[in-house]
Structure 1
């Protein structure tokens, strides 16, 4: 960790001058201030909140890192964040929300400054650049998501592989032999985001075991993009009768293009969505769905973090089994004509 004296050296000033620039308690010339600010940026100095407090005193702050990306379904991310905040308050902690896409830089800033006692990371990728930094620090942390290597980590997530498999199992059990998957935006897969990759792997694995064909197509947001994706699916697989929607924003908008294609649910096609229950029940045509328990994940992450802060917790991976709710939009595959 960079010290105050090390931050002062490139600027040619004393450590006390750097402190004065940071605190603003004393007047410092504009030229000196600019030199100090440049030096701070160059050496990566972060004021240590813990050092300004009494020895051994915690900040009682949890950092929640949740990049709000335009290619992801933000309501689910915020639902998790909203669950984290009141749960943390019941333990006497406030939440510092980091919403930028700074990645490792944000982790360095928080762990190096003593600004927070612990950290929760969301939007976890299979090869996440933030993880080596967390492993190199003693600061407690919990991931809402699953890294490719969970050694030395505490992770709270849905068993996405089992979720994908459950969708195929349901449709295959109804006689559907040709299934199309409307996936997340292409950028989500390009980043190898854990939940999207694991769901796709689970879908494909169970499809192979069940003798079912699966076509997976990523889908951008917007009505036109969804309609185009659906049209391409039917061009490639005109016999598709089962649909898995792994894109929360596409659950409701997918139904209108299906009707325009002359395919009614569940008479011609069956639809299974992977989404929060409220998304499924608020749709004009309620699909069968596998729930995304966003609030429960947020609460569990805080509870595991509190256990680690109190030296009660150990590294573990918590993956509740998925639950499928059958509704009217999935039914037997239509008889071949």
Structure 2
């Protein structure tokens, strides 16, 4: 596994990156535009998080911040942790992953299979909360001289991974015709890196983020401050924050749209019923956001809309698909918070 750099872009070989984009005929027909899905679940860890995991690990090794046999430490909802655990093991290192108690059992099982040591924390509310995944991961790494906290929420390699790989892939795979990019916002690395690259190629490309009700990044994008009244976030695994991550760069983001957990769950089950494909939780939120934008008449028939599906629904079987919900797409309109 190594990096290849050509024409100022980077491809990760042989197995991370270069994931396919496929036109979704069902969604394209339903919404009357051209909708493509960037299928990140084709990465070896079945997640887009393999990209920043690899960049952060390589950066730490290159800068000699960790010695062979040491421990990479991360606070993760599961996917970044899995990417770090897999890559660290392959390169001769260990991994210690701090997850919140909302992490799905499917993800915990995968982390254990990858050989990661796991600690379950109360929340992922940021470094100011002593019981958060971020604080406890940082504290653990600080006490071990051969441990390195990759810190995806504040590591510039998170943005760089998507600027150097994901953005160029999307641009090339759409022949430069992408008009809209929609993705969930958690650490902010994906939307910041992809958004920067696509805006550099065509400033009119619309970069739209999706987050759950109660998250503060929509407010931050609009006002560049955090709201005075921070409320609990509608729990959609992997996205939404009550703090502003350092890896979120608002300069290349046009809008952040808020969706409800119940609508996201309904969209996941609707999409599965119509296509037999199980999408992940943040992908379901993107579908809810797409539905909301559609009802605001945001798309033309000639547009090329790319939806970012960071992982697969098999990691959310108990959270998304075990309980059937009433599906009423006509009324499932995501509203701004």
Q: TM-score, normalised by structure 1?
A: 0.33
User: Which structure: larger Rg?
Assistant: 1
Q: TM-score, normalised by structure 2?
A: 0.33
